[in-house]
Structure 1
Amino acid sequence: MSKNKLPILYIKSGCPWCREALSFFNSQGVDLDVRDVNVNAKDMDAMVALSGQTKTPTFEYEDFMVADFDVDEFLAELNEFPEIRQKLGISDDEN
């Protein structure tokens, strides 16, 4: 039986939004497959194929994808996908 794959977070080292995203996911206890697109060209290619753009952070999990986001934008998008929020175990601080 295959284990659920970890969410992928595409980042660029030195990117302040990426640091913020990593800090957020860490605070929520979300395990990530972190891929630095500046280190690995294949990861850049995969991110561009996925999202159609080159900006980070870009988050991918199952059919859910958010590109070029800050944490507030990520949460706004995530609120549209409660089942993904539940799978990730991200608490809903708004309620």
Structure 2
Amino acid sequence: MAVHATLFTTPTCGYCRQAEEYLKRLDIPVKKRDISRDPRALEECQRRSGGSAVPVIVLKGKTIVGFDKARIDRILGIG
């Protein structure tokens, strides 16, 4: 099964950009969902993370709140 990520983001989030760049460097396709423009994305982000802070990354069924390289690596088994 191919690995891909969903990234809940806003246009002004610097950590979101860093997370996206890191995932792309790992050749992981990223589906961005802008919570400031998409009410459904905001609802899902809140459900997954318990809040509306970004970035929120969904990777291999796991939810990561914030840009946490070490956790991304552990989930991918590359750390």
TM-score, normalised to structure 2's length?
A: 0.82
Counterpart position of 2:72: 78
Counterpart position of 1:24: 22
Question: Deviation per CA, 1:40-89, whole angstroms, max 9, x where unpaired?
Answer: 0110000101110111110012431101x23xxx22223543xxx05xxx
Kindly report structure 1 stretches of 4+ aligned residues shifted beyond 6 Å.
Answer: none
Q: Residue 5 of structure 1: CA displacement?
A: 7.5
Residues matched between the structures, number: 79
| Aligned partner of residue 22 in structure 2, secondary structure | helix
| Aligned partner of residue 55 in structure 1, secondary structure | coil
Instruction: Name the aligned partner's letter for residue 71 of structure 2.
Output: E
TM-score, normalised to structure 1's length?
A: 0.70
Query: Distance between the aligned counterparts of 1:64 and 1:13, measured in 2?
Result: 23
Q: Residue 28 of structure 1: CA displacement?
A: 1.5
| Aligned partner of residue 64 in structure 2, secondary structure | strand
Q: Look at both structures and tell me which one has the larger radius of gyration over its CA atoms.
A: 1
Query: Distance between the aligned counterparts of 2:31 and 2:57, measured in 1?
Result: 10
Structure 2 portions without partners, runs of 5+: none
Query: Distance between the aligned counterparts of 1:4 and 1:29, measured in 2?
Result: 11
Greater strand percent: which structure?
2
Q: Residue 4 of structure 1: CA displacement?
A: 5.6
Query: Distance between the aligned counterparts of 1:80 and 1:7, measured in 2?
Result: 14
